[in-house]
Chains A and B, each alone.
Chain A
């Protein structure tokens, strides 16, 4: 059956399965009580991570990394909180523009000027951190409660957060189905061969960073709306998880392959593990510890697997 074959071959299957298993565990721990409301909450909680994770995915796909995506989220979160009194449109536009600008900045430095992504994004991280502090020094600001309700609690046939999550996954899948997606995979697989084959490597790499910045901004925007407040430090807790979501989504750090839907599943998985912590009655202090362990464990597992099959290079 073609559908079965497609599922078997898809790179999103593993992460999806992992998420479903963990979800089942959580449901069991809750005594089988899992309502649409719970699913809605899960989606609302995960959406920012899914968005920034998707952005990180595009960058990792081309063998890069963007450590500044966290502060970019903070910037858009603060811009939104500060500008909403002037209207929803300017607030949202500014928030997104901030992300685009960040992405363009990183893209120019890494893709066109060939600077190392690690040090560049560490430096721009400081810049965007500063910008968010300038815009809004302490968490607060005004975000209309109505908007919060609309985006987190409302239901249009299906709860809005779930719709948005699905939209995120679909967006990712759409990008990867285009020529851009194909070229990103090519660049990640072998940038030299891609260049020799006529792919505009610099341009596409730049696009990956620009996309990442924009998605991170969307994540920050949603986070601000969902919590009804902007925060200049909201992004700090998203940097490592954004990479973890990508890795959990089955994407290797050397890039070249991986499914965007898998990344969304990775974000869901990471979030669910947080819930499990809650059930295990572990304090919040364990959260970052567990995140770190998961990240290393997943990558180590992949490394061990290839180590078993590895022959000394001939």
Chain B
């Protein structure tokens, strides 16, 4: 119960912060002011302090929430669509194309997610759009696996056989009968993957790939903070805390969704 409240509450808080960032923060996240550089939290006008260029940390953390949720959201939608569709099709039509796709999944799973996303990111190029592409290319596998497994069992069920006997077409069977029964798994996987995408994006940007400074991404803010760890702890503390709280909220929400929709699923 506490967990559910905390999950929903934290997620809503982050969502609000992201949507209302321009109104909640009184400063422009990109505006530099060298007379105000490295001010500690509590400085007048800068509740969370300022960074080495005198940029307001609160504004940067809030705008970072926008970016994190945007990247996580886009990646979640793309992977759910691509992975879900591929899982549905490979579960429905058995044959060599399905085998090839599933082998490709095995290959991808033989490699750590973050390293894969990072390698793809270097090859396709850095920046906001390409980090979404990279995370999606690395992340669709889980959906494909889970959905395929579900589709394989759902298509054997009586109501699907009955619909087929009544003369329903392939597309109708797939999208009207199989998909609705597989959908809960997709939702659960999506909610559990969401925080992984956000944390992976931050980690990749932290290592110097992905979203580049001066864009206020939590990962690149933390990377910049390393040079000032001896003099300005707040630069490392707040963006990371924002990231951890977001991940915590979304994880708890995901756990709750799983327990409600699909308690058997272990991802």
Q: Do A and B come from one complex?
A: no
B residues whose Cβ falls under 8 Å from a Cβ of A: none
